[in-house]
Chains A and B, each alone.
Chain A
Amino acid sequence: MADDRDRDGTELAVAEFHRKIKEAFEVFDHESNSTVDVEEEEPTGYIRFEKFLPVMTEVLLERRYRPIPEDILLRAFEVLDPAKRGFLTKDELIKYMTEEGEPFSQEEMEEMLSAAIDPESNSINYKDYITMMVIDEN
């Protein structure tokens, strides 16, 4: 039955996920004591691997953090640019990113501006920007 195959597939997937999660966790686990420090959840300021693993496994299995496709991203920018100029001015970008949605901190804003804004036109050509970021990730 498809179910059985699914289950096997899922088990394999889970095992592989576990390995991947463990590896990723260890990158941030500087002291190798199975904890990484985090700013939410536990009041101690740390998250333990035993707690992290099942949560992340579920997240991966349910494919909750799938990458956002380019075209969707493009449309999002176009919503903010109703005149369809193909760009947003620096001020407009700042306004949207710091006042709408889940606002950026000043640091985040500065970092985004440093890469996104073309200093000559003082604006972001969002299509080019998206392309550049996506290539970078190959």
Chain B
Amino acid sequence: MGSGTSTQHHFAFQNAEKAFKAAALIQRWYRRYMARLEMRRHCTWSIFQSIEYAGQQDQVKLHNFFSYLVDHFTPSSHNEKDFLTRMFTEQRSPQGSEMENCGDCESIEVPDSYTGPRLSFPLLPDHATALVEAFRQKQRLHARYVLNLLHEARKHLVQLPNINRVSTCYSEEITVCGDLHGQLDDLIFIFYKNGLPSPERAYVFNGDFVDRGKDSVEILMILFAFMLVYPKEFHLNRGNHEDHMVNLRYGFTKEVMHKYKIHGKKILKLLQDVFCWLPLATVVDEKVLILHGGVSDRTDLELLAKLDRHKIVSTMRYKTRKNKKQAEEKGKANQMGSAERPSPWFLPQSRSLPSSPLRPSTHKAPRAGRSSSVPCGVPLDPKELSRRVRHSVDLELERCRQQAGFPAIKEKEEHSTSESDVDSDAEEQPEPTPEEWRQVVDILWSDPMAQEGCRANTVRGGGCYFGPNVTERLLQKYNLQLLIRSHECKPEGYEFCHGRKVLTIFSASNYYEVGSNRGAYVKLGPDLTPHIMQFQANKATHTLTMRQRISRVEESALRALREKLFAHSSDILAEFKKRDKDETGLITLSDWAAAVESVLHLGLPWRMLRPQLVSSLTDSKLAYKSWLENLAKEKLSQQNIQSSLLETLYRNRSNLETIFRIIDSDHSGSISLDEFRHTWKLFSSHMNIDITDDCICDLARSIDFNKDGHIDINEFLEAFRLVEQSCSGGDVSDCPQVTASSNSVHTKASSVPVTQGASEAMPSSLLECLPYSP
């Protein structure tokens, strides 16, 4: 019937409309939720990256400091001289017969009880495959075979040119892999998924095989083994981490010494040499350029092909002692007035000083302590700038000397006389020229950027940022079509930029944390079209939803951030107090964000992160003292280290460890209190770290846990490891559900007792510098 049908239709229509609206509402809600999730992911990524790069900057500053000392510090006493010589002289292995044949390693006996893989040379493909299998089963290669393999690898590498030229006509396809950083699981996964290397399956590994991950040794062994077995098809490029200086800080040195207690030193020494012999780049079919970092507007492939790559021992430090005069002449000719000075080596000549991409542009001059007195934001005549810097560093150094108790020296005229006797470079090879060194640094450290141009990479402290026009010019100049590089972690394991002319490929999945990113590798066929394959070498992450993955990574980032906050508690408290003139004990969230940023300079979106960092508010204000105290409570320590010292330790942890390892040049694992004190004093004043003499002594004494007058490096690191273990989430296999308590302080069950308050004989001077009562 008429009315019946129309009512039916009416209802039907209404229902359809309701369904439509309901669906639309649900979709809207869901999309907003995903948008917020994306925001959290970006924030988390920012946290990790900014902390990572801040660490790299620290590294550069540290080495600038040491370099500067090496160049300008003239020891006046025999003790000083010994100390410095031992510490700072690059102990390059002499090119004698000792290194050529492996007489040394033949003498190392392998006990019958050894059940690990045994190698014989020349290596056969089966050996290499067996090695992969053995490592997959967590076996360890005996030191003798490690040394054997490294010797053979070195012999092979020496014959290679700086720039390897490979062709796809022999093997049908080439697979290019990026950073592995000691993550053996990823390498094994790649071989499993893509196939083992063979004459038909060529591979290029683009640097950064070591550091950070725990199996750097095993990765190197596998890579070198395949390189020896398939020399025409298996290629390695050097990365910025194939560098003994960088290894001191980022874990490879530690790993070697831990796994090879007796022969570790020998292995490290040989590795230092092997790294220098790694080729710098690979070119496929004359069309695709593969190198680790990037390029600059000065990149000169012909120069790179011709230079003696073995001279570039470390990109961290440009030594100048021997050829300083020559370098200066050359330097002037090349208009690189400041290039030979370690301190401001990355200072631009014709480039403008950029603001760091990680910081908002409102931040102009960084704090004095961070910039080594380099003024920013003002383009100056480069010579004038370098002169100013040199002058202020001179003053600083003089002050350091006085503070450290070394007698004052005359001017630099002493250099020419003292150089010869302090210098053990006499046996060394000639230095690279500033231009050569800079070319290599550029290709190992640079990053692409979206804007046109070429600017100094102040975030990393090395290399530059290069824009699309730089890429374009370079590709045209050398008739290339694609640049493949690594060096930067990407959430998807890869990223195209510059109109798909630059491909970043990164093969270490879960780099920051389980679930943080995928790894990827790229295959090139004869048509040279890149095919990307992604992976994530952790079964657990597959069962997690994006939500859970992001939460997990987020937790890790926040933990790292809280540690940083703790490490700067005193400064942060001071900033809070400044904003609380009435001493109410409370500050607004706005002030909180401003205060924290002014101390940490990480350029993070603090307001976004606030809910994860600050749990409770009173009238939308924060009681800052108890907030800081909560941060401190997380940092449990088994040793009775007083809290402000603990803060200092945390703040400088990486630097301290690196300093230790530099001082401990014979890798014995311990340094004397004196050595530590000297160096720490110099370093602190150089970095404008305000610390009294007493504090230094106490710091040294507190690190000397067993009170034997020596600091055991591993003991020192133990203190942090225990804390990390008690805070970390433990096994990956338990996929955590997201709980509502993510705001609360992490108090996981820990076996480490909380110690607050005074340690035994705490000097009164320290009592006064306690920021808050225990």
Interface residues of A (CB under 8 A from B): 16, 19-20, 22-24, 26-28, 30-33, 65, 67-68, 72-73, 75-77, 79-80, 96-97, 100-104, 108, 111-112, 114-115, 133, 135-138
Contact = CB atoms under 8 A, between A and B. Distances in A.
A31 to B, nearest CB: 5
A55 B36 CA distance: 19
Contact of B34 (A22, A79, A111): A111
Contact of A136 (B20, B547, B603): B547
B136 interface: no
Contacts of B706: none
Nearest to A23: B605
16 contacts: A23-B606, A23-B608, A27-B43, A27-B46, A28-B42, A32-B358, A33-B451, A73-B26, A76-B21, A79-B19, A79-B21, A101-B21, A101-B26, A108-B34, A136-B547, A138-B611
B636 to A, nearest CB: 26
A137 B739 CA distance: 10
A31 B355 CA distance: 10
B355 A19 contact: no
A112 B30 contact: yes
A30 B449 CA distance: 9
Interface of B: 18-34, 36, 39, 42-43, 46, 355-361, 449-451, 545-547, 551, 590, 603, 605-608, 611, 738-740, 742-743
A114 B358 contact: no
A63 to B, nearest CB: 14
B22 A79 contact: yes
B19 to A, nearest CB: 6
A100 B20 CA distance: 5
Contact of B25 (A19, A30, A31, A72): A72
Contact of B26 (A28, A31, A32, A97): A97
Contact of A16 (B22, B30, B31, B590): B590
A103 B30 CA distance: 12
A28 B34 CA distance: 15
Contacts of A101: 20-27
Contacts of A79: 18-19, 21-22
Nearest to B612: A138
Nearest to A37: B450
Contact of A27 (B29, B39, B545): B39
B23 A31 contact: no
A45 B21 CA distance: 31
A47 B34 CA distance: 21
Given A19-B590, A27-B605, A77 B740 contact: no
B46 to A, nearest CB: 7
Nearest to B551: A136
Contacts of B611: 138
B22 A77 contact: yes
Contacts of B546: 111, 114-115
A135 B27 contact: no
Contact of A80 (B19, B30, B449): B19
Contacts of B449: 31
A115 to B, nearest CB: 4
B738 A135 contact: yes
Contacts of A16: 590
A138 B27 contact: no
A37 B451 CA distance: 13
Nearest to A80: B22
A138 B740 contact: yes
Contact of B357 (A20, A31, A137): A31
B32 A65 contact: yes
B743 A77 contact: no
Given A28-B42, A112-B30, A133-B33, A76 B25 contact: yes
A100 B24 contact: yes
A15 B356 CA distance: 26
A31 B356 CA distance: 9
B447 to A, nearest CB: 11
Contact of B360 (A26, A65, A133): A26
Contact of A76 (B22, B33, B605): B22
Given A26-B360, A76-B25, A138 B743 contact: yes
Contacts of B22: 75-77, 79-80, 96, 101
Nearest to A132: B738
A109 to B, nearest CB: 10
Q: Which 10 A-B pairs have the closest CB atoms?
A: A101-B24, A100-B23, A101-B23, A79-B22, A76-B22, A115-B545, A23-B605, A76-B25, A31-B450, A68-B29
Nearest to B46: A27
Contacts of A115: 545-547
A21 B606 CA distance: 12
Contact of B608 (A24, A73, A75, A137): A24
B541 to A, nearest CB: 12
Contacts of B34: 108, 111
B608 A27 contact: yes
A114 B548 CA distance: 11
A96 B355 CA distance: 49
A80 B23 contact: yes
B736 to A, nearest CB: 12
A20 B23 contact: no
Contacts of B361: 32
Contacts of B451: 31, 33
Contacts of B30: 108, 112
A26 to B, nearest CB: 6
B392 to A, nearest CB: 28
A69 to B, nearest CB: 10
A79 B178 CA distance: 51
Contact of A30 (B36, B357, B545, B743): B357
Contacts of B360: 22, 26, 32
Contacts of A28: 42
Residue among B18, B23, B25, B361 with most chain A CB within 10 A: B23
Contact of B27 (A26, A32, A33, A97): A97
Given A31-B450, A112-B30, A73 B25 contact: yes
A72 B24 CA distance: 12
A19 B742 CA distance: 25
A22 B605 CA distance: 9
A96 to B, nearest CB: 5
Contact of A32 (B20, B359, B607): B359
A122 B39 CA distance: 30
Contacts of A97: 23, 26-27
B7 to A, nearest CB: 18
B607 A20 contact: yes
B29 A73 contact: yes
Nearest to A138: B740
A103 B607 CA distance: 33
Nearest to B360: A26
Nearest to B33: A133
A104 B738 contact: no
Given A27-B43, A27-B608, A138-B740, A96 B23 contact: yes
Contacts of B551: 136
Nearest to A135: B740
B42 A27 contact: yes
Nearest to B611: A138
A96 B743 CA distance: 36
A65 B32 CA distance: 9
Nearest to B354: A32
B543 to A, nearest CB: 10
B668 to A, nearest CB: 45
Contacts of B20: 100-101
